Structure 1
Amino acid sequence: MLKQDLLLQIEKKREELIYIVSRKGLNSPPAIKHSQELDHLLNIYNQAPSHKANNL
């Protein structure tokens, strides 16, 4: 999966989390679930290799 695709998924999940927190509260089960899913996406993004070429 490309990092750009991951960034789009991360932003969508972040927006969903903000909406859920505003409706149900920070400690609600849906908010916790979305937060964990966002963490998972961020971990994948941070572990994905960068495709930039080093021109040293």
Structure 2
Amino acid sequence: MSKEQLINLIEKKREELIQIASKNGLNSTIAIHYSQELDELLNEYNRVYIKKIAAH
């Protein structure tokens, strides 16, 4: 997966989370699920792209 694809997935998941949380509340089961998915994407981005930069 390219950096741009990952960023697009992160942006899409963030938008979905905002919509779900506004309808169901931040503490709803579905909002927590979307938040966890967003966390996984952000962790992947950090692992692949941010730490690589910091290592140089």
CA RMSD of aligned residues (A): 1.9
Q: Please report how far the alpha carbon of residue 25 of structure 1 lies from its aligned counterpart in structure 2 after TM superposition.
A: 0.2
1:47 is matched with 47
Q: Please report how far the alpha carbon of residue 3 of structure 1 lies from its aligned counterpart in structure 2 after TM superposition.
A: 1.1
Equivalent residues in 2 for 1:1-56, closer than 5 Å: 1-49=1-49
Counterpart code for 2:42? L
Stretches of 4+ aligned residues off by more than 6 angstroms = none
Structure with the bigger percentage of helix = 2
User: Percent same amino acid among aligned pairs?
Assistant: 59
How many residue pairs are counted as aligned between the two chains?
A: 52
Gaps in structure 2 of 5+ consecutive residues: none
Question: Larger radius of gyration, structure 1 or 2?
Answer: 1
Q: Please report how far the alpha carbon of residue 48 of structure 1 lies from its aligned counterpart in structure 2 after TM superposition.
A: 1.1
TM-score by length of 1: 0.84
TM-score by length of 2: 0.84
